Amino acid sequence: MHRRRLRPAVLTLAVIASLLASGTVTAPPAVAAPAGGKKVIANLFEWNWPSVASECASTLGPKGYGYVQVSPPQEHVRGNQWWVAYQPVSYRIESRKGTRAQFESMVDGCHAAGVKVIVDAVVNHMSGQANGGTGWAGSSYQHHAYPGIYQGQDFHYCGRNGNNDIVDYHDRYEVQNCELVNLADLRTESDYVRSRLAAYLNDLLSLGVDGFRLDASKHMPAADVAAIRARLSRPAYLVQEVIHGAGEPITPTEYTGNGDVHEFRYGKDLARVFRSERLAYLRNFGEGWGHLPSNVSSVFVDNHDTQRDDGGVLTYRDRGIYALANAFMLAWPYGSPTVMSSYTFSGRDAGPPSDGNNKTLSTTCYSGWECEHRWPVIANMVGFRNATEGAGVSNWYDNGYQHIAFSRTGRGFITINDEDFAVNGRSYHTGLPAGRYCDVIHGTFAGGTCTGPVITVDANGWFAANVPAHDAIAIHLSARLP
């Protein structure tokens, strides 16, 4: 591996400014990619329902996000840790994030703002509490008994490792029939279990939900996921969590027939390039790196799991370099991108800002909530992604190291300089029509005006500019001044 010096994320004044807040019967067809021209997903991790609704109206819709991904809405075990939401005890839409009525109101509000809703759906398992207890909404449960929903016969007992837990990820049977960290593993091959899971998802569809992120899909055979999908009452976008593991028998490609699949290698590879390799290597990033085909790949710089468990990814703590990596993701035409929106945490298990009863507090950005989706660099590049959707890459340039540039043919152009020094006195060929364009890395385009620098493209499609160290310039047709 070619390595350069490791360095801290250095912030220019321009990048610092950009980071500041601005305020059944027939199986429905698989929806293999977010539909329409607005494909960027904002993952508002652990936000409560009123806050999601408000954000759809104030930010996500106006900034051009096509989807919001919300955390699991079903009743879960009690506690403050983030992972309690991934331990269902019933399928009532009642959780620390809000009531069923608030959830439905949130979906309606997001739709009114032009934003579709993806639910993080936990369908592989139930709780991991060995002694049982009482769930958030008052439902009693035991580890393998959920009154009125599941009983002992509805779970796997693999009989391995002394506690039925998964140990060997190179054993397909164990990964899909043993328990993931003690979580009661559902017999998804069972007709009853499939029907019960489909009933939960169909209930969410009845409330207007547009799609699902299927948590822990790797721990269910792809055929079981397909059988559950076949029972959905209408088509829905699906993205499946299947983590690639070198040499493992279960691969992400097995699941692409059901819909999109998370490409976990993307964030790790992108972080490695930005931290210790060369941006010039990104010329064929994506499929050229052995990643999934673009049309079934769901990508992200980080998500709620990798920012806690994988030191190899960039997170909000990386500040300027994180913003640049997201800018690249939103500019580069590979996969369907998700922007992470976190809350501030120090310990791995830390839950979201909550009251004394562990009910999630309403979001106040930049005060306990990181709100990366609002960072001007990231939010403005959503518009770039929308404006360039479907366009190829042309006019690639690199200096062999940390300075790259490319066009999204006829629609947009970006140059990123991750050198430790400014690149001055260069001209860039954009292939764009002559005119004055808002640099959306440093300014917001609205009402025909730009709050930041204006880039002038000449009659031959060129412009000249200086790019500070660890900074970028991006322009596109939808941010062209009159």
**Rounded Cα gap, residues 50 and 98, in angstroms:** 8
Contacts of 377 (CB under 8 A, 6+ apart): 15, 18, 19, 323, 324, 326, 327, 441, 472
> Catalytic one among 55, 120, 185, 241?
241
**Rounded Cα gap, residues 66 and 88, in angstroms:** 28
Closest CA to 451 of 37, 20, 11: 20
**Rounded Cα gap, residues 128 and 106, in angstroms:** 29
**Rounded Cα gap, residues 353 and 364, in angstroms:** 10
215 labelled catalytic: yes
> Catalytic one among 215, 224, 269, 418?
215
Contacts of 50 (CB under 8 A, 6+ apart): 98, 102, 105, 106, 362
Element (H, E) at 407: strand 403-408
Neighbours of 462 (CB within 10 A): 15
Quote the tokens at residue 335: 């996969």
Question: Taken in order 367, 375, 339, 287, is the CA torsion positive or negative?
Answer: negative
DSSP letters, 362-397, are PP-BTTTB--GGGSHHHHHHHHHHHHHTT--EEEEE
DSSP class of 449? E
Q: 10-23 in b/e burial notation, b at 16+ Cβ within 10 A?
A: ebbebbeebbeeee
Closest CA to 19 of 4, 8, 9: 9
Closest CA to 389 of 349, 343, 316, 337: 337
User: 406 near 396, Cβ under 8 Å?
Assistant: yes
DSSP letters, 298-330, are EEES--TTHHHH-TTS--GGGTHHHHHHHHHHH
398 labelled catalytic: no
Active site residues: 215, 241
